[in-house]
């Protein structure tokens, strides 16, 4: 989102053009899910922007509800859909206090043991009735038995409007499987505290948050909702970004989030974030979630989730501001900076190849 003085005026919000949702194939009623609620002051920052973590949590709630309902649509063993992965999510347009968020979820592909759900978020100005797209996201779920959390059940198949849609879904499924394996291989980093760090260095802005997982954070299985985890990750990433530039900051995008292991009720989780790369007007923050199981069966700490968040800095008028460049000192920091630069240039090239929205053609 971007800076906004309050409920959007009839002209729109912060000079962002309205986005247009492309047509999708028809789906059965049981494959669709809708939810809406008004954005309150405790959902937003001081500038009136709704926190990215709030939106991510609403997206996951819709995805979990849609996939769980579908996986229980046929007679058999009951289950709850567990979040396995969230594809890259861009924040297309701001959402502000007083607007109504409309969240819709649709199942677009099923494999034998997984469900792909595509979620769209629209912001409605209740004074004018105008709506605009703020987010689109793709999430992957697996159905876990209510009787045995380690048992993955089979997913009822969906009907496709055409063979090409099924083939495209299979391609997305194989791509996300490969990316999850790659992420696991590079997931051993640890963030250590730095004393008396200089401004604009990695150590100066890195931050951690410790959270005890309670019943309200969990599913029927007693494991943390993916949306709760993403909200906490966004909070830490936001603190890192704010410490670095000391201005109003907002979430611009989130790279694919992979949920490596489940987090059980009673665990203490540590969410750690550090800046890895800065361009002229954006900041990339790497966030880890480590879990310490203390209840029932004490075990060693393990890495549960990891992701990269991108933030931008805004002026009081909601315009992008230049970002102070990150000062890298160690060889590891230099390597992570170059890796982040590669991701930044790759996404920049992809955006340039994408066709403009339908309303701008």
Residues annotated catalytic, as ranges: 45, 234
DSSP output for 16-77: PPPP-PPP-----GGGEEEEEEEPPGGGB-TTSBBPHHHHHHHHHHHHHHHHHHHHTSSSSS
DSSP code per residue over 327-348: B--SHHHHHHHHHHHHHHHHHH
Quote the CA–CA distance of 195 and 208 in Å, as a whole number: 14
Give the β-pairing of 32-38 and 248-254. Answer: unpaired
Expressed in angstroms, the distance from the first to the final Cα of the chain is: 24
Three-state SS across 180-217? HHHHHHCCCCCCCCCCCCCCCEHHHHCEEEEEECCHHH
- Is 269 in contact with 210 (CB distance < 8 Å)? yes
> How many Cβ atoms from other residues are within 10 Å of residue 25's Cβ?
11
Q: What is the DSSP letter of 157?
A: P
Quote the Cα angle for 236-58-184, to 5°.
Answer: 55
Helices (H), 146-276: 163-185, 202-205, 226-245
152 membership: H or E segment, kind and range: none
**Residue linked to tokens 């063979």:** 163
């Amino acid at each position: 989102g971007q800076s906004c003085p309050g409920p959007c005026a009839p002209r729109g919000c912060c000079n962002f053009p309205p986005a247009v949702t492309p047509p999708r194939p028809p789906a059965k009623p049981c494959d669709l899910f809708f939810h809406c609620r008004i954005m309150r002051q405790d959902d937003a920052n001081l500038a009136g922007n709704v926190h990215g973590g709030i939106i991510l949590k609403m997206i996951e709630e819709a995805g979990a509800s849609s996939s769980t309902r579908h996986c229980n649509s046929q007679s058999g063993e009951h289950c709850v859909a567990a979040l396995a992965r969230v594809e890259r999510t861009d924040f297309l347009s701001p959402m502000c206090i007083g607007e109504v968020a409309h969240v819709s979820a649709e199942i677009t592909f099923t494999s034998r043991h997984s469900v792909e759900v595509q979620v769209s978020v629209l912001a409605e100005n209740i004074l004018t009735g105008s709506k605009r797209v703020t987010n689109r996201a793709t999430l992957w779920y697996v159905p876990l038995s209510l009787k045995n959390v380690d048992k993955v059940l089979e997913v009822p198949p969906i009907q496709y409007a055409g063979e090409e849609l099924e083939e495209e879904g299979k391609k997305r499924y194989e791509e996300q499987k490969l990316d999850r394996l790659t992420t696991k291989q590079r997931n051993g980093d640890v963030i250590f505290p730095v004393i008396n760090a200089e401004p604009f260095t990695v150590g100066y802005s890195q931050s951690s948050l410790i959270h005890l997982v309670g019943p309200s954070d969990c599913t029927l299985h007693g494991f943390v909702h993916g949306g709760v985890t993403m909200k906490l990750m966004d909070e830490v990433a936001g603190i890192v970004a704010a410490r670095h530039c000391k201005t109003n900051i907002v979430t611009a995008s989130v790279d694919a989030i992979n949920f490596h292991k489940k987090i059980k009720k009673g665990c203490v989780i540590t969410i750690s974030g550090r800046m890895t790369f800065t361009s002229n007007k954006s900041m990339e923050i790497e966030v880890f979630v480590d879990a310490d199981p203390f209840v029932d069966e004490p075990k060693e700490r393990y890495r549960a989730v990891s992701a990269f968040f991108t933030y931008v800095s805004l002026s009081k008028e909601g315009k992008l501001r230049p970002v102070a460049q990150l000062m890298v000192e160690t060889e590891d920091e230099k390597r992570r900076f170059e890796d982040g630069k590669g991701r930044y240039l790759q996404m920049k090239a992809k955006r340039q190849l994408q066709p403009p929205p339908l309303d701008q053609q």
